[in-house]
Amino acid sequence: MFGKKKETDKTRAWKKLAHHYKAFRKTEMRDLFKKDPQRAEKYNIVLDGLMLDYSKNRISDRTMRYLLALAQERKLKEKIDAMFSGEKINITEHRSVLHVALRNRDNTPIYVDGENVMPKINEVLGKMRDFSEAVRLGKFKGQTGKKLTNIVNIGIGGSDLGPKMAVEALRKYWGKGLNCYFISNIDGTACCEVLNKIDPETTLFIVSSKTFTTIETLTNAKTCRKWLTDALGEHAVAKHFVAVSTNEKEVEKFGINPENMFEFWDFVGGRYSMWSAIGLSIAIMVGMDNFDKLLDGAHAMDEHFKTASFDKNIPVVLALLGIWYNDFFGWKSHAVIPYDQYLQYVPAYLQQLSMESNGKFVSNDNKYVKYNTAQVLFGGAGTDVQHSFFQMIHQGTTPVPCDFIIPAISHNEVGDHHEILIANVLAQGEALMRGKTVAEAAEELKKAGKSKEEISFLKKFKSFPGNRPSNTLIFKKIDPYSLGMLIAMYEHKVFVEGVIWNIDSFDQMGVELGKQMALSILPELQGNALGIRHDSSTNNLIKTIKKLRK
């Protein structure tokens, strides 16, 4: 891994890290805690009711010194300033990257091509406030005069995952009598299952598509449109559909009143867009005041990321730890486990954020990279996942670094539930770090009254290697502000990783090829194409599916 010539390891810090890894890789965290009683106090960062404990990592002061030097040598501070100032750091698409402008609560001017983007952003936020309040108060009514209480967001990728994650995370803040649904999958089942639950007279559809040409979104939108017009007539479209888009011509052609089109911009990538009008479903469900608090929390993390020294900078530290494990230990997976039911969709959201951003194999220098980039990110809600993939995390052959997320206070303090939940998350981090030696397992079996033969056989099965890293993120409570902080934190972590790997974290070329090829297969499935276009396997699969559909 370390002998290959590549752009990143030309830095002195990368070479020092490679050398340090060889000497440090077998160090036990148990020993590190014994040697340094202040370790927990040293390796933690506090910000606005958020505390990151990263002491349970396979690091020393020297490790962190080299990692921080790597960030300096990769000119991270200059790259951060470039993003916040509107420079076109998305080099393959020649675009600025300004999701941070969407939550620029100081309203300081940010320029793109000489134009301050803040007036337009504030105009759309104002329009979102007026419309969301009109829906919530029943002033914007459906075709038959009834209040719109079923909100259906139609989108895919960032136009679905962000709002869906946030709406569920903030369920405790939903307006009375409101329900929210999301349709993204082109599978007709996804559409039908939602339509079977709602009433045309009380349903508002939000079609989220920048170009208003995305095949999955438009196919689902057309199905919902037909369902509505079959029940209420063509005139109902203008009263039951709104759009988040930039293509006014296609929006109007669909039957949506252009006044009910909410704009966003090229400097906002899909997976970073929940802070924009893409978050309209969030604003309707929790109210615009709470949406503003979501932006406030994200802005607080932005300011921290922009101004804090790297050794006390939460996104920077998390990213550097990820680099350490991915590129030196060779651990290619990372788990995010929120111990809060409302955060159940956070891992799915972060999958797109991380792997779509940094799953790249060409550097900004237009060279093939020869080192690991994005880790495989997965996760789920604790304690459920303790009964699924935690077996692998504790006793699998390859360690999986984990992020544990826990609120100190639950929205639903019922009996001992939350204390048991907290006990579990804290125990998981300690167990991963400490493990259980074969000797300790044997002693436990002896105390349990097992025979010498049983002990000899079982002691390895009952042992745990330990020395497996985790971070623990504690919030006071999951509210709009803390959710904004959490998501912005991971956005900036992904950005830092991209800087270290020298890749463009803001394009998504890898999404396109499969979609392009699907467009060539579709006519063949519909019987309108001539000639052989594919490999023998694909041709045979098409033939088999057509036969089965008959």
Are 318 and 204 in a shared domain?
no
Q: Is 80 helix (H, G, I), strand (E, B) or coil?
A: helix
Q: Is residue 106 part of a domain?
A: yes
CATH number of the domain where residue 469 is located: 3.40.50.10490
Check whether 2 has a pLDDT greater than 60.
no
Residue 531 confidence (pLDDT): 61
The answer to whether 132 and 288 are in contact (CB under 8 A) is yes
Q: Is residue 93 part of a domain?
A: no
Are 283 and 330 in a shared domain?
no
The band of 532, judged by pLDDT with boundaries at 50, 70 and 90, is low
Are 438 and 316 in a shared domain?
yes
Q: Report the mean per-residue pLDDT for the chain.
A: 95
Write the pLDDT tens digit of every residue in 371-429: 999 999 999 999 999 999 999 999 999 999 999 999 999 999 999 999 999 999 999 99
β-pairing verdict for 376-379 and 333-338? parallel
Write the pLDDT tens digit of every residue in 4-40: 444 565 689 999 999 999 999 999 999 999 999 999 9
Are 515 and 500 in a shared domain?
no
Q: Is residue 224 part of a domain?
A: yes
Q: Is residue 83 part of a domain?
A: no
The answer to whether 335 and 485 are in contact (CB under 8 A) is no
As given in the structure block, the two tokens for residue 153 are: 């967001």
Q: How many domains does the chain contain in total? A: 3
How far is the C-alpha of 328 from the C-alpha of 322, rounded, in Å?
Answer: 10
Domain that holds residue 519: 510-549
Are 251 and 388 in a shared domain?
no
Beta-strand (E) ranges in 426-518? 470-475
Catalytic residues: 356, 387, 515
Residue 8 confidence (pLDDT): 61
Are 388 and 485 in a shared domain?
yes
Are 262 and 324 in a shared domain?
no
Q: Is residue 182 part of a domain?
A: yes
Write the pLDDT tens digit of every residue in 54-108: 999 999 999 999 999 999 999 999 999 999 999 999 999 999 999 999 999 999 9
284's CB contacts (< 8 A; 6+ apart) are: 132, 135, 136, 151, 175, 178, 180, 204
Whether omega before 383 lies within 30 degrees of 0, making that bond cis, reads yes
Angle between helices 76-84 and 480-501 (to 10 degrees): 130
Boundary (domain end) residue, out of 292, 320, 346: 292
Are 38 and 173 in a shared domain?
no
Residue 5 confidence (pLDDT): 44
The answer to whether 280 and 205 are in contact (CB under 8 A) is no
Q: Is residue 82 part of a domain?
A: no
Are 109 and 238 in a shared domain?
yes
Prediction pTM value: 0.95
As given in the structure block, the two tokens for residue 382 are: 């604790």
How far is the C-alpha of 496 from the C-alpha of 357, rounded, in Å?
Answer: 11
Q: Is residue 521 part of a domain?
A: yes
Which of 372, 362, 360 has its CA nearest to residue 329? Answer: 372
Are 210 and 272 in a shared domain?
yes
Write the pLDDT tens digit of every residue in 331-366: 999 999 999 999 999 999 999 999 999 999 999 999
Which of 142, 214, 211 has its CA nearest to residue 183? Answer: 214
In degrees, rounded to 5, the angle at the alpha carbon of residue 334 between the alpha carbons of residues 331 and 337 is 150
Helices (H) and strands (E) in the chain, counts: 24, 13
CB atoms within 10 A of CB 116: 15
First-residue to last-residue Cα distance in the chain: 53
Beta-strand (E) ranges in 62-202? 111-112, 115-116, 150-154, 179-183
Are 241 and 288 in a shared domain?
yes
How far is the C-alpha of 440 from the C-alpha of 431, rounded, in Å?
Answer: 13
Q: Is residue 92 part of a domain?
A: no
Are 117 and 250 in a shared domain?
yes
Check whether 540 has a pLDDT greater than 70.
yes
As given in the structure block, the two tokens for residue 18 are: 């490679």
How far is the C-alpha of 36 from the C-alpha of 42, rounded, in Å?
Answer: 9
Sheet of 333-338, strands arranged across: 44-47, 50-53, 470-475, 402-407, 333-338, 376-379
